[in-house]
Every structure is written in C-alpha cells, then in structure tokens.
Amino acid sequence: MLAFIIRRLLWLIPVLLLLSFITFGLMHIAPGGPWDTDPSRKQLDPRTEKALNEKFGLDKPIFFNTNGNIQQPWTYLDSQYFNYVWKIVRYGDFGPSYRRRGVDVVDILKQGVPYSLKLGLMAFAWSVTFGILIGITAALHQNTWVDYVSLFSATILRSTPTFVLGILLIIVFASTLKWVSVIQEDWSGIKPFILPAICLGAATAAFVARLTRSSMLDVTRQDYIRTARAKGVGERSVVYSHMLKNALIPVVTILGPALAALVTGSFIIENLFGVPGIGRLFIEAINARDYSMIMATTLLYAFLVAIGNLLVDITYAFIDPRIRLS
C-alpha cells in the first residue's frame, strides 16, 4: 500500500514537469506580456520595461540558453523556465505576481483558495447527500413514478451546463424574485455561496443519483439479499446494513474526482457569480499575461486533481477488500 502511494506520488513529478513545460511554452507564445497596459492609458517607458524584465529575469531565453559556456554546462540552463523550476524545487518560491506589484503568487492564491474550497465543499456536500438519497429512493421504488421522475430529472440536470443553470437561477432568484442581489459584495458566511453551490453541484448530484440507483438495483438482485430476507431480517436492516454498504462502493470511487472537479471546476460559476476564488484569479491572470500566476494556478489544479484520484484508489482498496492495489 505504502509503495503504491509513493509510486503514484513519484509519478506526479514527470506529469507536473511536463505540464509546466507545456504551459510555460504556450504562455510565451501568447502575444503581449505582463507589463502591457490598457492601450488607452499611458504606456510603460521602454527603459522601465527593460529594467523590469531584467529584475524578473524575463530578458533571459525561455527554455535554453544557447549562450552558455561549455566549461560550465549548467549555464545552458540559465533560462526563464529552468530558473523558475529551480526556485520552486529549491526554495518553494513560486515567484512574485507580475501584475500585482510586490505580492507573491502564493499569497494571492492563499486568499483565493478558501473561497473556492468553501464553494466546492458546499457543492460537494449537498450534491452527494441529495444524490445518494434520491438514488436510494428511486431504486427502492423501481418502476414507479418516483423512480421515473428522479431518473428523468437526473438526466436533464446532468446535461444542463452549469452556466445555463446559473443564468436561470440568477434570472429567477436575483432578477425576478430579488431574494439575493445579482452582484454580491460581501463573501463572508454561507449565504452568498448558496446559489453558486447549487449550480456547481447540480450535475454531480444527478450523476451520483443515477450511479446510486443503478448500483442499488444491482445489489438488490444478489443472493445475500435473498438470504437476509429469507432468514427474517427486517426490511430496514436489509436496506441499511446489507444493501447500502455494498451499493455505495461504486459511489465512493467517484467522490474523489468529484471533489477535485468541484473545487477546481468552478471557473464558470466563479465568473458568473463573481466569487473571488482561484477560478476567477486564473481567468484574470490569463487575460493579464501574469505568467507566474498562470503557472501556479495550473500546477495547483493538476496537483489537486491528482491527489483526488489517488485518494479514491486508496479508499477503494479500503472499502472493497477484493481490490488489490498494484
């Protein structure tokens, strides 16, 4: 088990390196740079720009320094990319933000992460709870109207894009009913996150409901359920301790990726509702060509997704002893 975890974590290194390499290259293909200002405003003095580039090492070649010295081969790696990677590996330093002068990327992310985390966790909590409850109810009333209604609405919800749902909710609750204001200012507490969390979790709730239902139906036909009934176990006990325990195994396996997707997959929702989380920071950074910020968010996302997937594999092995990790 420990060997498996270590191997998976080691595997992350080449993945993150390659991802950072690709992202770094792509970022520099994009026209414009971090010092560009709005064309309508006063432009940066070329000398200042040169000084800034020198200060942040942006005057160096992007990947390989062809002016290196053969006696000191490492000078070939005196490039923007390798300096960046080296700083992370050696000092854990993701560099300063190029846009917000004097602030470290890590500090900006530290501000954004709690919002995204809160939003993702709220969405996760409601979607899993409701998804499982609806799935169980539907399975226990198979082929009745309860089942059909839940299955149908789950299919609709699953294929409704989050932004469509978001737009509809905003039109209904903010524009028409005026229960919440369209533009939130204060992002403390739970209340401003309710609508975004509903949107974000809807598709996951639908997915969990469908999965729970089909998994429950699968379990219902097993011999050990018939045995339990035959030996006179009460219906409640059959459902809760025999069926549920086994039916939830496939559900548990999707929880890790689902959590990672909810915490990281909220670009649209964060932009639609104006949540100041990492999704919005990322889009801002992209538009501002804030190189260090783009890199840090991308790596953070990739890391979270990988950890989510690893957690699933581990929990899977714990709850289902038939699975062996290798």
117 lies in the site for another protein, by CB under 8 A:
no
Judged by CB, which is closer to another protein: 125, or 172? 172
325 scored as a contact of another protein (CB under 8 A) = no
Q: Which of 29, 70, 190, 230 binds another protein (CB under 8 A)?
A: 29
Assigned token pair, 154: 């789950």
Q: Does 301 bind another protein (CB under 8 A)?
A: yes
Grouping H, G, I as helix, E, B as strand and the rest as coil, residue 222 is coil
Q: Residue length, the chain?
A: 326
CB of 263 to another protein, least distance (A): 11
DSSP 35: T
113 contributes a contact to another protein by CB under 8 A: no
Q: Does 80 bind another protein (CB under 8 A)?
A: no
Residues 6+ apart with CB under 8 A from 53: 35, 59
Q: Are 182 and 227 in contact (CB under 8 A)?
A: no
Q: Which is nearer to another protein, 48 or 159 (CB)?
A: 159
Instruction: Report the C-alpha gap between 115 and 188 in whole angstroms.
Output: 9
Rounded to whole angstroms, how far apart are CA atoms 76 and 312? 41
Residue 126 found at the interface with another protein (CB under 8 A): no
Counting other chains too, the contacts that 274-278 makes at CB distance below 8 Å and 24 or more residues apart are 274/183, 274/184, 275/115, 275/116, 275/119, 275/184, 275/187, 275/193, 275/196, 276/111, 276/112, 276/115, 276/187, 277/112, 277/113, 277/115, 277/116, 277/119, 278/109, 278/112, 278/113, 278/115, 278/116
Q: How many residues bind another protein (CB under 8 A)?
A: 46
User: Which region among 69-77, 156-164, 235-243, 318-326 touches another protein (by CB under 8 A)?
Assistant: 156-164
Instruction: Work out which of 117, 233, 305, 314 binds another protein, going by CB under 8 A.
Output: 305
* Least CB distance to another protein at residue 29 (A): 4
The reply on whether position 30 binds another protein by CB under 8 A is: yes
Binding-site ranges for another protein (CB under 8 A): 11-12, 14-15, 18-19, 22-23, 26-31, 155-156, 158-161, 163-164, 167-168, 170-171, 175, 214, 217-218, 264-265, 267-268, 271-272, 282-283, 286, 294, 297-298, 301-302, 305-306
